Every structure is written in structure tokens, then in C-alpha cells.
Amino acid sequence: MSNSTKARQKKSKRPAVFDREMRIKLGVIVSFIIILLVFLSAVLIYRNNVDGEEYAINVLEQQNYSSTTLPYKRGDILDRNGVVLATSIKVYNLILDPKIILSDDGKYLEDSINALVDCFGYDRQELLELVNENSERRYYIYKKKLSYEDIKDFLDAKADDKRYPNLQGVWFETEYERRYPFSSLACDVIGFTTTGNVGIWGIEEYYNDYLNGVDGRSYGYVNNENVMEQVEKKADDGDTVISTIDFNIQSIIEKYIAQYNEELKPENIGIIIMDPRNGEVLGMAGKLSYDLNNPRDLTAFYTAEEIAAMSDEDKLNALNNIWRNYCICDSYEPGSTAKPYTIAAALDEGKIKSDDEYVCDGYEKLGGWTIRCHNNEGHGTIDMYQAIAYSCNDALMAIAATEGAEVFSTYQKRFNFGMRTRIDLPGEASCANLIYPASKMGPVDLATNSFGQNYNVTMIQVAAAFSSLINGGYYYSPHVVKQIINSNGGVVENVEKTLVKQTVTTETSDEIKKGLRMCVETGTGRTAGIEGYLISGKTGTAEKQPREDEKYLLSFIGFAPYDTPQLVCYVVVDNPDVENQSTTYATTLFKNVMEEVLTYLNIFPDGESEPSEPATPATPSEPQTDENGNTIAADPTTGQTATTGGNDDEVFPDGIIRGDEDNNTP
Amino acid sequence: MSKKGYIKRKWDMSLLVTVIFLVCFGLVMVYSTSSYEAAMKFNDSAFYLKKQLIATALGVLVMFFTATINYHVWKRFAIIGYLLTIVCILLVMTPLGIEANGARRWIGVKSFSFQPAELAKLAIIIFFAAFLSKKPNLVNKLGTSITMLFYAGLIALMILVITKNLSSAIIIAGIAYIMMIVASKKSKWYIVVAVALCAIAVGGLLLAGGYRLKRIRVWLEPEAYAQEGGFQTLQALYALGSGGLFGKGLGQSVQKLGFVPEAQNDMVFSIICEELGIFGGIAIIILFAFMIWRFMAIANNAEDLFGTLIVIGIMAHIALQVVLNIAVVTNTIPNTGITLPFISYGGTSTVFIMAEMGLALSVSKGKKIRRQVITDEEA
């Protein structure tokens, strides 16, 4: 009891105080506690550093033993008619537990090894060595991915107590393996999976969360009597995704792509077939297809020496190039297939009337540039239908100038050019930065844009916009999935048609259809015509950059039947390796594909009364003769330019944009 | 005690914030560790969480209640509380007693149950604080010291014999011991006696053998005695050791999936280390260390010796449980089954620990600071 405490006490009447000595003792105790806590922290770090790795391994090892994951089945991907495009098959891994096999003085050894040798035909000596070498292991994967047929014998033997009464320490772990019954079919749309059920590309990636389920688990725990008990929680299987893709249409598309690829060796080919009534994609493919069951195999594309010379990065780049979906990932200048949109915009805004006439003299001079029509002699006096049918650049430039940059740009946005269509597939490209905003669109830009040069689009953008142009103006967002059902067959989600916007009025749509029909009937797209059907559409021959290389992207987009379009088909042939790059390659490809698809879908021919077809009655027929006169006048000198050739527009660095003069069918 | 000398004080906010954080963290960890087992056994992953939530809500109410009222009130209940504890422990032997997990430790009816051992800890703290502050000089006499130790020893023994709860007995004895050692002027003797008792205990254990000795063996070689009870320790060690620096991520523990039995109870710290790593484990240890430092500050500035001793008792309680729990989880000492305060699942212990926190806050509110005169002048 110190004096200082007493001194402090005088102020208070408290009978007892917490004096200095007590404070020191408390301090010592607290210090002691803190030291203990520091010591325990050190133990914690020690346990992690010294034994951590061993413990981590033990955690994993025992997880496989007493607590088994029961894998879920990843959902199937079906085509619109129920054809299985992707599925998961149960496979079995054979697991050995050497510790159990060797326990109880080797009582189980003989029967267990005998059973394995008899049922699977494995090598006895090898098994014995393996079991003895791993005598402390509890989990050894001996064989992977056995089918049910492979292990059936063994399961029977195991169930039969008499054959191998002491069979122990051998069991199976189930796993699912992803299989694609048609290997490469619709590879761009389906995509594939990597280990752990992670979808890469296509529906596999976009709908990964639906396709995947939740693992179940069978786990053992020790109860109060120290006995291991097993509890099982079943796995939740993934949902099945039903695609809008039609197996047969996809097969037809891929057949012709392969054929044209073989003949023309183009840089790329793409075909999309859509239903314009709801935005469902029925088929979609690019040039490169790969085996979904073996997506990393490069041998189909490169020689063994080439592959050996590749670095890992080269390989990955090569694979990515193969895996990408041309129809949604790559952008390009559309060329003349863009003309109907330019005219639709002017018509819709009332800037032009359907009976306005334009004089094509073969070129237009704008700001020091000479922009030529593909027919250097000029198309003469034509109306807007003929401008579509004969793909006249001059008329289009006049129409675009009338509507102005503001309207043109507004309609580009309305048709969703440059922007993602939000199709339900991963990796869709946006090329919005390659579209001129109205504020930056000069007269030359407007003129070249009017016939589809100097801005970029993707195939799906064009197909979706075209669908709206010919279905009365309804823009449905394109999609490749129709319905999602769960593992019990219940509907999880119906993907309905989603009307995004009205692009043009129904009247405008009807007028444009007339021009498109004329294009196939008498204009540049005649080779796309199919007997008996009122096929309508638009050709495109876009000149690729750099312009002086004179390489072209040939395309055709068309629809059928005429009155209520059910199919839109867009074909792109990029820079075929031929002398004379003509849209005929695209139109005949379109014709071949559509001929088979129309027959397959039992779409009745609507063109029996072709002369009395309601689409182009009075208006076009009158200028037709007028136009014909002009064409005939031009023809003797330049050949069949107007009727067979595409329209090609080139921009030369010297400031001349000109059309391709000679573009005949080879 | 004139009111004039004291200014109106606030609670020790850093203690309050730490308590609230630990309680919330505890709820998260209870859900994380118990959801899988709860889903398996009761088909409701939040089964344990819901029960713990109710206990926590009650605990918070109790804390604010005890924090608000003047702690001197409890002096009057010191003897009543002590006797009540004895009655409650005896009740365990009657039909009111409830047996769970192979131990008869609870009393109650229907859904309400309660563990007398937790009441005993609080009762001992108040009883000792009241007694020691009333006649501080008597403690220095041998007779009184022995009487005091007898009171504590009686409760500890009853807990040990009747409810077969060694860990609570150790904690009760430990609380009493620490309070005595601080209050007594003859602390040297306490240390000598403690060392001697430890020696006797170890010697006795070695001689006695049986159940206790098995625990020691399991402690020394959990791998070899996995079937005899080392399973839990071993699995907790696996969990703790496999976490690495930052752990597998909250909720990502593998070991709680049936390997660490009742991971939400004693072994919750191992799952914290597995999910949040060494980093998370040490962060929790630091929080507890901070809390203990706050208790010391409150004890040092308390209004009177009664308040000081209460806070020292509470500090001893928390410190003993934290140190023993973490020591068990890291297999530094044999398994005794001590829960981690605020974090482990357990209704009674949550409510009583919160009551103790309320007491500590109440003491901090009434605490005297030397600057009071200056403050008065400033005011």
C-alpha cells in the first residue's frame, strides 16, 4: 500500500480502490494474454507453412473418398425439331483404394485383383505392383472415361457375393463427357465446352448458366458413436436449350458453303437464313468449321510441320480465328445491298415519291471526286424501283442528297447498322465507330454511304435490318434460342419474338419489295431467281480496302415468298479466288441454298402467275421499257453490263470513285 | 458519492463497435459453417442461423439493458445469483435437464433451453467483484482466501461433476483465480499454488489414465488416433492449414462439408482460417487483443473497485475462452470443447456474453477520469 494511493484516496470516500500495485498486476496479466495471442498467431502461421501443403492435399484426397461429388448432367442443345446437337454422356472412372485392398492382412487382395483381371482384362502383374506401390493411397484413378458397357460385367460381379466374396476397394466415380453427334455441324452457333463445363463460344457460352446444373454430393460424417454415415444429396441437372436452328437448313447451308469454298477458295463465305416474322435464325455458318468434339485440333487446317513451328500464342490465335463466328464477329462494307435502306429512308420521310425519276449519266462529281456508277454509260432516266433493280449509284447519290445526312444517319441508326443486334451469342462485334455521325458526314461520305461503301456492318446486322425492311417494318431482335426447358421437361423460359422497333412504315416496306422483286426479275439479281417462286432481293459488290487491289465482297440478300416473307437468306462471298469477281457467285449460291430450303420447308411456289404478279403492276412496267431503251443503247458498246454485272464502286486514292465497268458472268 | 463530481459520460464506443462487429461477423460465420449441415439434417440451410439470430437479438437487448442501468445494482444480487447458479446446476439432474450430443448440460422446457454453466461464469464475476471490493483487506488473510477459493471451487466442481463440462469448470476457476490474483496483496502465493496444482494435475492425469489420458494421446498424435476422437482435431487442423495466406474465400470451405463435425461450434476458428486464411485468423485475434486492451483501460478508469473487478472478471472470461479455443483449434493443447466468444454458435453463451459486455459498458459510462476538474472548469 503506497503513499501515493493514500493521497489520492483523500478526495474520495470509497472504501476500496484500485491501487497502483493492482494496476501493475492487471498490466502484467494483459501483457501475458497478448503474448499468448501472439504465440497462437505464430502457431497458426507455422501450421500453414510447415504442414499446410500436406493438409491441403489431405483435404483434397479425403474429399474424393468420404465425400464424393455427384456430378450434374449439363443440359442438351437441341435444334428446333428436337434433333440433339450437343449432349452429355455419363462416363465412369475406375478408382482403386489400395489401402483398403491391402487391409486386414491382404484378405481382399486376391478377389479384388481377380475381379479386375477377369472383367476388364487388365494386367495382373501391373495391378499388383500398383497396389503395393501406393499402399497408403486411398484414391487412385486407374482408368478414365469407361462407358457403362465397359463396367457392366464388373458391376454384376460386385453385386454377386458368391463370385468374389472379398472384393473391396474398387469403385467408380461418374463424370459427364460433352458430345456433339454431328461434330462440326453448326459449330459457330453451338460452341463447345472446356473442362469444368465452361462453355466457349456459341450457345454453350451464352446459355452456360442455364445449361449447367448444381453438383450433388454424397458425404460421410462421423456420428456420436464414431461411425461413418453416408448422406446423399442428388445433383440438379442443367436445363436443355432448344435452338431456333433447323438441322436440315443448317446442313444445306454447310453443304453449299463447302462446295463453293472448294471451287472458289474465297477469303470467307457466310450464310444466314432467318425467319423475318420473328427474328429466329434458322441457319448460320461461316467458311471455317471445326470438330466440336475436338475443338483444339489444328490438323484439319494446317500441316504437321506448320503446327510444329507454331508457338502457343500462334496456336491460340489460329484457334480463335477458326472458332469465331463470321456471321456476327466480322464487319465489312456492305456494298449495294445497302441501297434499299437509303431509298426506304427517303421514301419514309417523304423526301422522294415513288414515281420520281432520276437521270444517270454514269458519274457524279462531288467535291473534287468523280464517283462513278458501275455502268459508265449511265442508266439514263430511271425511277427508284429501277435504281434498286439495276443498282444505280448515280440515282442513289441523288436520292441521298435529297434526304440529307441527318435523315440518312437517323435511318442508319434505326436499321441498327454498326450497333450490336444483341443476338444471343457471345462475341458479336460492334462497328459503331465506323459509321459516320450526321455531324461528320460530308457530301462525299453521304454519296458513298448511299450505296453501302465507307461504313461497316456485320452479316447479322444486315439480315436483321433487311427482315424489318420486307416484313412491314418490324425490327425483331435476331435470336438463336427458342425455348429453355428444365431436366424434368418443364418450360423455364420461352424466347418470344421481341419487337424492338418499327424501322419503316408498311407502305414503304411494300414499295421497297417491288424494287427488290424487279431486281431478281429483270435486274442485277436475275441469276438468283428460282423457278416458280417470286424470289426478290438485292445484289451487292462491295469494293474492299485498299481500293487499288480491286478485291470484292460479293453478296446477295433475298426473301421468299413474296407476300408474306417466311425466309430471309443472306449470302456473302468474300474475295473469291477467281478471275472475274461477280455477284453471280453470291446469287447462284443463294439460289442453290434457297431452292433446297424452300422444298424442304414445303413452301408452296407463289410465282405460277409470274406475269400477273401483283408486286410490280403499272408503275415499274412503264419505266421498264423506258429503262430498257437506255440499257439497249448502252449495251452494244459495253456488253451486258446492266443486266448481269454487279455494281462495284471503287475509291481510288487519286480522288476518283468509279464503278466496275466490266463485271460479267464468267 | 456526490453527483457533482462527475460529468455525464458516454459508453466506451470502441468497445461497443468491436462487439457489434464481432457479433455480425459471428452471424456470417455461423451461416457459412452451418448452412450445409443444416440443409442436410433439417432441410433448411438457415436453421442454425435463425436460432443464432434470435439469441443475438435477445443478447443485444440484454446488453443495452445492462449497459443502461447502474452496475452497482448488481452488488445486491451477488449472493442471490450465486445461490441461483447452484440451484440451476442441480436442476440439470432433475427431469428439467436436457441431454444433447451425449452430455446433460442444459435445463429448460420445450424450445427454451439454457446452460447453467454460462450463468455460473457471470455469477462468479459479480459475486467475486462484490466480495473483493467490500472487504479488500480481508483477501490478504489466508482464511478468507481459502473460503473464496472454496466458493469458486464448489461451482467449478459442480459443473465438472454434474454437467461433465471440464472446459466451463476451467474457465470458472480461471476467472476466480485472475480476479483474486489482482485483488490480493499476496499474489506470489497464488502463482506458487497454481504451479503446484498444475504439477499435481499432470501427475494425476498420468497416473489416472483412462478417458483423460486418451485425450492427451489424441492431442499428441491426432493422425494415429483418428478413430478414437482425433478426427475432429485432425479435420480442424486440415481446415486451418489448407487456407493459405488469404484463404479459399468466404463460404468456400471444403472442410465444413461434413468433415469438421459441427463446424459452427468449437471449431469455427478453423473454418475462418480456411476461408479467410492466416490473414483473416490473425485479424480476428487482433480484434480480441484490442478488446482486452479496452477492458484494461475501462478497469483502470473505473469509478470504484467493484466496477474495476467486474471488468477484470469479464476480461478474464473473454481472454480465457479465446486463448483456450484457439489453442485447441491449433492443437496446441488437448481438445476441451471451448467455444469462441461472439462467433461460435450457442444461444446461452451469446446472451450471457452480451450481458457481460453491457456490464462493461455500464462501468465505462460511470468511469472517473482525472481530467474531470478541468472539464468542470471548462464547463
Which residues have a Cβ under 8 Å from the Cβ of B195 and sit 6 or more positions away? none
Q: Inform me whether the C-beta atom of residue B323 falls under 8 Å from chain A C-beta atoms.
A: yes
Q: Inform me whether the C-beta atom of residue B171 falls under 8 Å from chain A C-beta atoms.
A: no
Task: With CB atoms and an 8 Å threshold, state whether B304 touches A17.
Answer: yes
Least confident of A62-66, A302-306, A414-418, A593-597: A62-66
Looking at the domain assignment, is residue A376 inside a domain?
Answer: yes
The whole-number pLDDT of residue B236 equals 80
B interface mutation test: which of A9, A18, A227 has the most B CBs within 10 A?
Answer: A18
Please state the φ and ψ torsions of residue A538, each to the nearest 5 degrees: -145, 135
Task: With CB atoms and an 8 Å threshold, state whether B288 touches A37.
Answer: yes
pLDDT band at B64 (very low <50, low <70, confident <90, very high): very high
The whole-number pLDDT of residue B293 equals 94
Task: With CB atoms and an 8 Å threshold, state whether B323 touches A37.
Answer: yes
- C-alpha angle B111/B114/B117, rounded to 5°? 160
The whole-number pLDDT of residue A41 equals 92
Longest CA span, chain A: 131
**What helix, strand, coil percent values describe chain A, rounded to 5?**
40, 20, 35
pLDDT band at A652 (very low <50, low <70, confident <90, very high): very low
Average pLDDT (A234-246) is 90
Interface of B with A in 204-223 (CB under 8 A): none
Q: Inform me whether the C-beta atom of residue B231 falls under 8 Å from chain A C-beta atoms.
A: yes
The answer to whether the beta carbons of residues B68 and B106 sit under 8 Å apart is: no
Which residues have a Cβ under 8 Å from the Cβ of B285 and sit 6 or more positions away? A37, A40, A41, A44, B322, B326
Residue-wise pLDDT for B128-180, tens only, equals 999 888 877 777 777 888 888 888 889 998 988 888 888 889 899 999 989 88
Of A25, A52, A226, the CB nearest to B244: A52
B interface mutation test: which of A11, A36, A41, A44 has the most B CBs within 10 A?
Answer: A44
The answer to whether the beta carbons of residues A218 and A232 sit under 8 Å apart is: yes
Task: With CB atoms and an 8 Å threshold, state whether B183 touches A22.
Answer: yes
pLDDT band at A606 (very low <50, low <70, confident <90, very high): confident
The whole-number pLDDT of residue A228 equals 53
The whole-number pLDDT of residue B290 equals 95
pLDDT band at A622 (very low <50, low <70, confident <90, very high): very low
CA distance to partner chain A, nearest, from residue B57 (Å): 29
Q: How distant is the alpha carbon of residue B251 from its chain centre?
A: 26
Residue-wise pLDDT for B286-322, tens only, equals 999 999 999 999 998 888 888 899 999 999 999 999 9
- What's the ipTM? 0.88
Residues of B in contact with A233 (CB under 8 A): 39-40
Residues of A in contact with B178 (CB under 8 A): 29
Is residue B375 pLDDT above 50, yes or no?
A: no
Average pLDDT (B48-52) is 89
**What is the domain range of residue A455?**
247-291+331-479+495-659
The whole-number pLDDT of residue B284 equals 94
Is residue A73 pLDDT above 70, yes or no?
A: yes
Please state the φ and ψ torsions of residue A273, each to the nearest 5 degrees: -120, 125
Give the CATH number of the domain where residue A377 resides.
Answer: 3.40.710.10
Q: What is the mean pLDDT of chain B?
A: 82
Residue-wise pLDDT for A252-275, tens only, equals 999 999 998 888 888 899 999 999
pLDDT band at A229 (very low <50, low <70, confident <90, very high): low
Average pLDDT (A9-14) is 42
Q: How far apart are CA A577 and CA A562, in angstroms?
A: 34
pLDDT band at A214 (very low <50, low <70, confident <90, very high): confident
pLDDT over 70 percentage in chain A = 84
Average pLDDT (B189-196) is 82
Q: How far apart are CA B73 and CA B341, in angstroms?
A: 26
Q: How far apart are CA B67 and CA B356, in angstroms?
A: 9
Residues of A in contact with B302 (CB under 8 A): 18
Residues of A in contact with B326 (CB under 8 A): 37, 40, 44
CA distance to partner chain B, nearest, from residue A19 (Å): 9
The whole-number pLDDT of residue A90 equals 87
How many domains is chain A built from? 1
Ordered strands of the B112-114 beta sheet: B97-100, B103-109, B112-114
Please state the φ and ψ torsions of residue A97, each to the nearest 5 degrees: -120, 85
The whole-number pLDDT of residue A38 equals 93
The whole-number pLDDT of residue A557 equals 92
CA distance to partner chain B, nearest, from residue A29 (Å): 8
- Count of beta carbons in the 10 Å neighbourhood of residue A560: 26
pLDDT over 70 percentage in chain B = 84
Least confident of A135-149, A224-238, A598-612: A224-238
Task: With CB atoms and an 8 Å threshold, state whether A15 touches B134.
Answer: yes
Q: How distant is the alpha carbon of residue A80 from its chain centre?
A: 17
Least confident of A315-324, A373-382, A482-491, B52-61: A373-382
C-alpha cell at A507: 407502305
Q: How far apart are CA B240 and CA A45, in angstroms?
A: 10
The whole-number pLDDT of residue A476 equals 92
Average pLDDT (A409-431) is 89
CA distance to partner chain A, nearest, from residue B218 (Å): 14
- Count of beta carbons in the 10 Å neighbourhood of residue A434: 15
The whole-number pLDDT of residue A184 equals 87
Average pLDDT (A128-137) is 79
Of A21, A37, A220, the CB nearest to B285: A37
Looking at the domain assignment, is residue A43 inside a domain?
Answer: no
pLDDT over 90 percentage in chain A = 19
Looking at the domain assignment, is residue A182 inside a domain?
Answer: no
Of A30, A41, A231, the CB nearest to B296: A30
Bridge partners of A553, per DSSP, are A542, A574
Looking at the domain assignment, is residue A1 inside a domain?
Answer: no
Least confident of A51-65, A593-607, B127-141, B161-175: A51-65
> For residue B113, what are the CA distances in angstroms to B110, B176, B313, B352?
7, 26, 25, 14
Is residue A614 pLDDT above 60, yes or no?
A: no
Please state the φ and ψ torsions of residue A92, each to the nearest 5 degrees: -120, 135
Residue A248 or A136, more confident: A248
Task: With CB atoms and an 8 Å threshold, state whether B261 touches A222.
Answer: yes
The whole-number pLDDT of residue A230 equals 66
pLDDT band at B211 (very low <50, low <70, confident <90, very high): low
Residues of A in contact with B291 (CB under 8 A): none
Task: With CB atoms and an 8 Å threshold, state whether B242 touches A45.
Answer: no
Q: What is the mean pLDDT of chain A?
A: 80
CA distance to partner chain A, nearest, from residue B154 (Å): 25
pTM for this model (two decimals) = 0.57
Looking at the domain assignment, is residue A202 inside a domain?
Answer: no
Task: With CB atoms and an 8 Å threshold, state whether A44 touches B181.
Answer: no
Residues of A in contact with B136 (CB under 8 A): 15-16
Looking at the domain assignment, is residue A85 inside a domain?
Answer: no
